[in-house]
Amino acid sequence: MEVTGFVRAVLFVSSSARDTDFVARLLDVHPDGRAVDIVDGILRARFREGYDKRLMMEPGCIYQIDIDLDATSNWFPPGHRIRLGISSSSFPRFDRNLNTGGNNWDETEWVVAHNTVHHSPEFPSYVLLPVAGA
């Protein structure tokens, strides 16, 4: 399968923290088990509705977030698998997030974030792959 164009992850998430990061990474998994990064992206939850407003998360609430993974053109040959990896950090590639909702650059205390990616008929997390020739 050839994937060419912009990739986007649409996730339904919740967290125990007021603010946290969600990183999505598209990987090509080779038959020998080796996984190769293709593209990735990040979203700081407080900016889920734009950078002009800061919205903190409430514990127990589920939010839809869209993560732009940028563009790619990759051929997944027979025997390869497509993997979507989700994490809450990609430091030092992206800035740290202490999960407090404060100014991460001058804080010294952090909060452990217990994050959940929901996947159900009501909360259908998915990845949009631009498949060429489909």
Q: What is the DSSP letter of 28?
A: E
Domain count, the chain: 1
Rounded to a whole number of angstroms, the distance between the first and last alpha carbons of the chain is 9
Q: Is pLDDT of 112 > 70? A: yes
Write out the residue range of the structural domain in which residue 21 sits: 2-121
Q: Work out the percent of the chain whose per-residue pLDDT is above 90.
A: 84
pLDDT of residue 23: 98
Residue 59 lies in a domain: yes
Residue 96 lies in a domain: yes
Q: What is the CATH number of the domain that holds 86?
A: 2.60.120.260
Confidence band, pLDDT 50/70/90 cuts, at residue 55: very high
Q: Is pLDDT of 134 > 60? A: no
Residue 90 lies in a domain: yes
Q: Is pLDDT of 68 > 90? A: yes
Residue 133 lies in a domain: no
Contact 26, 83 (CB under 8 A): yes
Residue 53 lies in a domain: yes
Residue 104 lies in a domain: yes
Measured CA to CA, the distance from residue 64 to residue 62 in angstroms comes to: 7
pLDDT of residue 115: 97
Residue 27 lies in a domain: yes
**CB-based contacts of 3, cutoff 8 Å, min separation 6:** 26, 38, 72, 73, 74, 76, 82, 129, 130, 131, 132
For the segment 35-56, the average pLDDT, to the nearest whole number, is 96
Query: Quick one: which of 39, 2, 44 has its CA closest to 24?
Result: 39
Kindly report the CA angle at 127 between 80 and 8, in degrees rounded to 5?
110
Q: Which two tokens stand for residue 91?
A: 């430091």
pTM of the prediction? 0.91
Residue 70 lies in a domain: yes
pLDDT of residue 91: 87
* Strand stretches in the chain, DSSP E: 2-15, 21-29, 35-44, 63-75, 81-87, 115-118, 126-128
Confidence band, pLDDT 50/70/90 cuts, at residue 100: very high
